[in-house]
Amino acid sequence: MEVIRTPAAMTAWSRAERAGGRSLALVPTMGCLHAGHLSLMAAVRERADRLAVSIFVNPVQFGPDEDFATYPRTFEADCQAAEEAGVDVIFAPEAAAIYPPGFQTMIRVKDLSQGLCGASRPGHFDGVATVVAKLFNIIRPQLAVFGEKDFQQLAVIRTMARDLDFGVEIVGHPIVREDDGLAMSSRNRYLSPAERQAALCLYQALESARRQAAEGERDCGRIIARLSAAIAAEPGVRLEYLKIVNDADLRELKKLTDSALLMMAARIGRTRLIDNGYLFPERDILQNS
């Protein structure tokens, strides 16, 4: 496995692979790799001749009061895990190589970037879209995989790739969870044991919503009120948003449809976590079949 640090060397590597007739899949990450990331790699390993993973904690997608400086960086362990997962190349550039002096171009996917996480993290999805566009241009993969854990991000990237004719197939991958249901996240390592326990309220809310839907409840307002009350009762948890949206455009729904998606973000102590899922989980099966 190669580790490449500069955009020029990455582009040269990828160009040589293409010249040899080999296809390339990309898994963009911020490192601190866990089983969720490895599952993304496994999902596309057989779909392309070469597998590239980028590891880049992208400064422009963090707000001034967010955890850019303290975001966990575990590069040595990441390289080992990636090698074991059959990765061919890691692209791990310095921030100055991605944003050299004079950099001033940002990509904005207008509507999709506004609500949900975009409301509390202004500019976040512009930072995400911009860095992913740069990764696509530097690496030129045929396909790239993104987790449904960050459902809004996946929607933003799909739209950007389509609107700007990147010609990169965007593959979505289901959320990978711990045994007790907590969605895997690099930020879970910030949680104290008590916070780790409290964080389960997000998955429990999703399960409760699914039960209500299965029992015939169709009114989104009533479901949201019940879930919000349950989360509010959890000590140390502050709900940021909890919404039921349509999966295609992420607009809020009043009545459940078969594409209804519960999306939530909460602070568990100082740690911000997100989770989501379809209210009718058979949708997951349909989507991924």
Beta bridge partners of 260: 246
186 contacts ligand AMP (rule: CB under 6 A): yes
Interaction of residue 147 with ligand AMP, rule CB under 6 A = yes
Residues 31-70, one symbol each (x = binds ligand AMP by CB under 6 A, - = not), give -----xx--x------------------------------
Query: Using the rule CB under 6 A, is 26 a contact of ligand AMP?
Result: no
Told to judge if 37 belongs to the known catalytic residues of this protein, a careful annotator would answer yes
CA contacts within 13 A on the Cβ side of 214: 10
130 near ligand AMP, rule: CB under 6 A = no
What is the distance between the alpha carbons of residues 253 and 243, in angstroms, rounded to a whole number? 8
Task: Select from 15-23, 91-99, 180-188, 260-268 the region that touches ligand AMP (CB under 6 A).
Answer: 180-188
Q: Binding to ligand AMP by residue 4, rule CB under 6 A?
A: no
Q: Which of 70-78, 170-178, 207-215, 267-275 is the region at the interface with ligand AMP (rule: CB under 6 A)?
A: 170-178
The amino acid present at 232, given as its one-letter code, is: A
- Residue 30 found at the interface with ligand AMP (CB under 6 A): yes
Identify the residue among 78, 150, 195, 234 touching ligand AMP (CB under 6 A).
150
Could you give the CA distance from residue 33 to residue 57 in angstroms, rounded to a whole number? 12
Residue 29: beta bridge partners?
Answer: 55
Contact 144, 197 (CB under 8 A): no
Residues between 205 and 224 with contacts to ligand AMP, criterion CB under 6 A: none
Cβ 31 to ligand AMP shortest distance, Å:
6
User: Could you tell me where the DSSP H helices lie in the chain?
Assistant: 7-19, 35-45, 75-84, 95-98, 117-120, 124-139, 151-163, 193-198, 200-214, 220-232, 282-288
What is the smallest separation between the CB atom of 19 and ligand AMP, expressed in angstroms? 28
Q: How far is CA 130 from CA 14, 73, 126, 142, in A?
A: 20, 22, 6, 18
Per CB under 6 A, 146 contacts ligand AMP: yes
- Part of the chain binding ligand AMP (CB under 6 A), chosen from 97-105, 175-183, 194-202, 277-285: 175-183
DSSP conformation class of 176: P
Least Å distance, CB 150 to ligand AMP, is 4
Smaller CB separation from ligand AMP, 121 or 212: 121
284, with CB counted inside 10 A (0-12, 13-18, 19+), is middle
Q: Which residue is at the shortest CB distance from ligand AMP?
A: 147
Q: Which residue has the tokens 């295609």?
A: 248
3-state SS, residue 132: helix
Shortest Cβ 217–ligand AMP spacing (Å): 27
Other C-beta atoms closer than 10 Å to the C-beta of 152 total 23
- For ligand AMP, the closer of residues 18 and 241 by Cβ is 241
| Interacting residue ranges for ligand AMP, rule: CB under 6 A | 29-30, 36-37, 40, 146-147, 149-150, 173, 175-176, 183-186
Task: Give catalytic residue positions.
Answer: 37
